[in-house]
Amino acid sequence: MFKTPEGKEIFVLDGHTHFWDGSPENQANIHGKQFIDCFYAYHTNLSPSEELWEKSKFEKYSEDDVYRDLFVDGPDDMAIIQSTYLNDFYKKGFSSIERSSSMAARHPERFIVNGSFDPRDGEKALEYIHYMKETFDIKGVKMYTAEWNGDSKGWALNDPAAYKCFELCEKLGIKNVHVHKGPTITPLSMDAFDVRDVDYAATDFQNLNWIIEHCGLPRLDEFCWIATQETNVYGGLAVALPFIHSRPRYFGEIMAELLFWLGEDKLLFGSDYAIWTPKWLVEKFWDYQIPEDIAQERGVQLTDEIKEKILGLNAARLYDIDVNKKKVELAGSPVQIAAE
């Protein structure tokens, strides 16, 4: 719960978090080391200095860390934990649904754990989707189109094998598809950040919600164009948000574009924990105003009402969460840290 200076309580649903193990013990090869090193560079590059973590903690943090950083010290009411496997880089997967679900089981009222699959696995991917639905009753999945898989260095959402998987997701009621379209690992393709496949998939699967994490940065213009055409495309603010600290004016330009093209109902807050922690992000976001000249040009501004939607109400709608009921439920189990 985030409390505004006026005392208003704002429901915060963190749309993009992880419970990963990037420790040397879990790294399968140099790629595994370089992947977590790259995440750590994002962390050190864009965090305020007082929010920096030591490398070893960043590589593998505890269940208690998650709970404290998100809900006790942090303002999150709920968090969506995304699964990312990167099986070519990590022995037991980077952040597996089993490990995340076991962590989340301590506070099931606060977590949504999403699954993940790789369409290039063919029939096995379909079986795996059934397994995730039956075992964990997933409501959403995280797609990593840049993931390496043997000789393949990436795939597209509109590949025929992917369509078979999305058909099954639709049938099983797994309706939220989070897609990583942003920096870090890149496929060896013509244009590594191409977002055009979103356009095809969103058109062909109208009943699924397509949440494009990182807003397709650095292809924001193309993403905005696609998202404007499709009613079921959303933008996740993870990675864009930390610029609020390092380059606030630039953050205003990004937000102005997103509000102008996608609108206030299509944007989702995400801290990208543990790359960044939600406390400072939410505090700065609540205090933030788009610089007047940029706001005027696009005719948009981040009002309190819009911020509230972005911080939680929009994601709650996608995940069928009744915010008022949830607030009552959470009030019955207030955050606490077990005695250590």
- What are the residues binding other proteins (CB under 8 A)? 31, 34-35, 37-38, 40-42, 44-46, 49-50, 52-55, 183-186, 188-192, 217-221, 224, 243, 246-247, 250, 253-254, 257, 297
Residue 11 or 58 with smaller CB distance to other proteins: 58
Q: What is the 3-state secondary structure (H, E, C) of the chain?
A: CEECCCCCEECCEEEEECCCECCCCCECCHHHHHHHHHHHHHHHHHCCHHHCCCHHHHHECCHHHHHHHHHHCCCCCEEEECCECCCCCECCCCECHHHHHHHHCCCHHHEEECECCCHHHCHHHHHHHHHHHHHHCCCEEEECCCCCECCECCCCCCCHHHHHHHHHHHHHCCCEEEEECCCCCCCCCCCCCCCHHHHHHHHHCCCCEEEEEHHHCCCHHHHHHHHHHCCCEEEECCCCCCHHHHCHHHHHHHHHHHHHHCCCCCEECCCCECCCCHHHHHHHHHHCCCCHHHHHHHCCCCCHHHHHHHHHHHHHHHCCCCHHHHHHHHHCCCCCCCCC
Nearest distance, CB of residue 241 and other proteins, angstroms: 13
Nearest distance, CB of residue 35 and other proteins, angstroms: 8
Residue 110 or 219 with smaller CB distance to other proteins: 219
Residue 38 or 105 with smaller CB distance to other proteins: 38
Residue 55 or 327 with smaller CB distance to other proteins: 55
Q: Which letter, b or e, does each residue of 214-223 get, where b requires 16 or more Cβ atoms within 10 Å of its Cβ?
A: bbbbebbebb
Residue 97 or 179 with smaller CB distance to other proteins: 179
Nearest distance, CB of residue 90 and other proteins, angstroms: 15
Nearest distance, CB of residue 79 and other proteins, angstroms: 24
Nearest CA to 274 out of 103, 11, 20, 92 is that of: 20
Nearest distance, CB of residue 268 and other proteins, angstroms: 19
Nearest distance, CB of residue 45 and other proteins, angstroms: 4
Tokens of 157: 């959402």
Residue 218 or 263 with smaller CB distance to other proteins: 218
Say if CB 176 and CB 141 are below 8 A apart: yes
Nearest distance, CB of residue 144 and other proteins, angstroms: 13
Residue 40 or 286 with smaller CB distance to other proteins: 40
Residue 49 or 336 with smaller CB distance to other proteins: 49
Nearest distance, CB of residue 277 and other proteins, angstroms: 14
Nearest distance, CB of residue 41 and other proteins, angstroms: 5
Residue 25 or 297 with smaller CB distance to other proteins: 297
Which is it for strands 2-3 and 9-10: parallel, antiparallel or unpaired?
antiparallel
